[in-house]
Structure 1
Amino acid sequence: MQIATKIWDSGWGAVFLTVYTGVAIQLVRPEPLFLKTLSVLPTILVMFLADQQNNRLINFFAGGELRRSTDQIQKITGHDDFYESASEELQNRVDDFDRRAYQKNISILAGLIIALTTPFVGFYLGGTFGLGIGLVIGLLATQLLTRRSIQELNRLAQNISEPYTAKYENQ
């Protein structure tokens, strides 16, 4: 049950990837029951990758915005240890950014995996028609999971400096 909770806490990308993998396994191999348990493996792999490479993924997908926000915070605070010197409320907002960025990274990676694999699964199951359906599902996954998560990650990175601006403007 702990795996299901971790998947749920990791955001919609993890949930959709698990459901997609389970449905794909069911459609390709409906008989063996033990294969259904394998539907969590891609999600666990994506969660592990997002956990281990979180900073790199954030820098890749929101690096420019995050760098601008960090530079603005350093100008406001005047030193590099802005997290440690910030109030507990500001630290909580930065921690919230980290948690949400982790979820967005999982959604980005899950969307990419779904977008890359659905055409092949569709072709395997239904030939050219299945390939077309797979491409449509892949485009939807790209739009709903990957593109929106990248936009949200960039918005979060832009907004990371707002609490510092608000705090130091009033002093």
Structure 2
Amino acid sequence: MEIGKLIKELRTKKGITQEELAHQTEVSTRTIQRIENGDVDPRAYTLQMIAKALEVDYSMFVETSSEESTAVQEVNDNNWIALLHLSSIIPLVFPSILIWNAKKNVVNGMHKHYKEVMSLQLMVLGVTLGCLWVYWKTNIIMPLVGVLLANALFAIFRALNTFSDKEKAMVNDNNS
């Protein structure tokens, strides 16, 4: 639950108005409104004052904000992993190496996905070279086009699958 919604819920359960909460916490009513609407993230001192006024433990707000930041971090990690998979649309290893090198120590699961992308790219590169040889000998381009198209579709599928796996995990976490 977002901090603002939690504060609003606790305030209404306690039966006090935004003005009364603002007076008790020594912040403006507008600040309380903006916090409850999610327009601003309150500072730690403000959260301590709100917790004191609402007679709740300050850690309740800290735990909520850390859960939200963890969810945001998972989405960001997921975006980088999807970008890694999309980098294999063209059978060039260099973009994948750049993405992996930049995020290998930051994104959870990046190494595992990097191995998948690199093995796919090396396989596609080998098959592409074989198709180029066929094209050179027979002047038939269809196998080469087919391999490149299949690689692009598979890369897009893996990127989309990465998104859907994370979304399912997030939905399961929210339901439990």
TM range (shorter): 0.3 to 0.5
Structure with more relative contact order (C-alpha pairs < 8 Å, separation 6 or more):
1
TM-score (normalised: structure 2): 0.33
TM-score by length of 1: 0.34
Which structure has the highest helix share of the two? 1
